Copies of this chain bind each other. A is one copy, B any other.
Amino acid sequence: MADDSASLSGQLAATTLHDAVSSSDVAKAEFSDRVPIRSIVSRPDGGVGLAGHRVRIGGWVKTGRKADKDAFAFLELNDGSCPANLQVIVDASVSDLSPLVPTGTCIAVDGVLKLPPSGTKQKVELRVEKVVHVGPVDPAKYPLPKTRLTLEFLRDFVHLRPRTNTISAVARIRNALAYATHTFFQKHGFLYVHTPIITTSDCEGAGEMFQVTTLISEADKLEKDLIKNPPPSAADIEAAQLLVKEKGEIVAQLKSAKAKKEDINASVAELKKEKENLSKLEERSKLKPGIPKKDGKIDYGLDFFARQAFLTVSGQLQVESYACCLSSVYTFGPTFRAEHSHTSRHLAEFWMVEPEIAFAELKDDMNCAEAYVRFLCQWLLDNCLDDMEFMADKFDKTCIERLRMVASTPFERISYTEAVELLEEAVKGGRKFENKVEWGIDLASEHERYLTEVKFQKPVIVYNYPKDIKAFYMRLNDDSKTVAAMDVLVPKVGELIGGSQREERYDVIQQRIKDMELPIEPYEWYLDLRRYGTVKHCGFGLGFERMLLFATGIENIRDVIPFPRYPGRADL
């Protein structure tokens, strides 16, 4: 594949390595003078062909031990470029060995690649000639000792946990899926659009949204200021009023006495000064600590955006405005839910991929979703097999098999009505579900997983859902009972993608908004897209962390995002 990032980076790194041997030009190529371990151990020959080459390597010690009566040290070194370590051997004559062996120590070394004695597992190892950097670790204090740590324990150390094999593998898989996402959509002519994070379209109900505000910090500032400089008292203001009165009288006297122009001007200037002082005092006397209110309600007119603002729950509505002129677009960014969910499947901050296609209908949407998911799976097989093998070994024996199956198998497509019939059949056949099965229900996770894991044992797209359980913007089908929605269900996580054809008919969508008792005003801009040059269009959203759970087999969503946010927790 021409744009296979990992192999490109591999090639580049290999070139760098070659240069390292033949010239001192390395730094420029890599923006560092080290050679990534990946470019050695990920070669088809495992690095054997590089024996005899002199390289600089940097990384962190996974395990280190002194051997042969402290004559030398064996270090397993990892630099994050791949899951594999490079075995590094340091002779006691080269460096003091004790600071090098603790787990977590950072070293940069110059050395020569050598073939190890036969019978050892590594294909190539590094004999160190010079230690150029040591970032030491006091093992008594290091929070991540060599012993196996639970993922739950590691959540207390989000700044250090990427140093573990698991979290670094997840980081590489996440990177691969992100770049695969951009590559897929760019290849198909989609334009990446940055939809806003701060939004004033509170379409999903403010209750589940985070509010973004400067009112509290400004109230804090004012409160501190008022303590430092108390507001004027009534007496202060009275005194100032008296001064204004006196100065006014002086002006009047001078004028009626036809005094000199200079004298009148001078007294007018004094009057003006006192008036200004009074109005400043009056202004300040109105200041009240606390969040500003108007008619008993918070006065959002004084907030940063002069109105209430929230963190987005989806970029869909906004990206539609770009689809309705640029035709094929997508957004990929963070989204937010202020739900008090303490489950292993929910985060307060998570990433979503949301393409939107104009001149397209539901079947196009399904084609796009299927092609995208299969592309992601194939990409991981092509670019991250080493990390996937680690995952298969430690977390989920079937994860590679699952990727292969999805990459190579056309998805099953069934209507919601067919799905309900299949579930009813299953119930008749003795299958127990906690949630009742009947036409009109929203499919529960157990239903979705039965369809994809048991019934079809492959991804399933369910389409044409009852309109009453779906959003107002989904296109009403001719039966007037269902809407052109579709969900992609996959083994392991259930719903991975939710999408729909959007209602492009002005009259129909307006009626749907009314029927669902939503206010029209906030959607006027959205209705404009139907008022002026409307177009059939559709799109979907893929929960990026769900895709990671699907790919890696990790159980808790908090472990597949670098800095998880959930109720009571937002470290760093």
Contacts and interface: CB of A to CB of B under 8 A. Distances in A.
B135 A535 contact: yes
A404 interface: no
B160 A172 contact: no
A365 interface: yes
A402 interface: no
Nearest to A371: B31
Interface in A171-222: 171-172, 174-175, 178-179, 182-183, 186-189, 191-201, 206-207, 209-214, 216-217, 221
A31 B171 contact: no
A570 B327 contact: no
Chain copies in the assembly?
2
Contact of A3 (B2, B30, B533): B2
B175 A191 contact: yes
A321 interface: yes
A218 to B, nearest CB: 9
Nearest to A355: B31
Contacts of A291: 216, 291
Interface string A42-60: 0000000000000000111
A248 interface: no
A174 B194 contact: yes
Interface stretch (A86-94, A117-125, A303-311, A449-457): A303-311
Nearest to A366: B31
Interface stretch (A5-13, A237-245, A439-447): A5-13
A142 interface: yes
Interface centre among A200, A305, A357 (most CB of B within 10 A): A305
A126 to B, nearest CB: 15
Contact of A214 (B163, B175, B210): B210
28 contacts: A3-B3, A3-B8, A9-B188, A30-B189, A32-B360, A33-B360, A80-B327, A81-B189, A106-B533, A106-B535, A108-B359, A133-B535, A135-B532, A135-B535, A163-B324, A174-B192, A179-B182, A194-B562, A195-B562, A195-B563, A198-B565, A206-B217, A210-B214, A211-B213, A211-B214, A217-B338, A304-B340, A333-B334
A477 interface: no
Interface string A404-426: 00000000000000000000000
A484 to B, nearest CB: 15
Given A5-B186, A198-B349, A359-B58, A364 B562 contact: no
A394 interface: no
A27 interface: yes
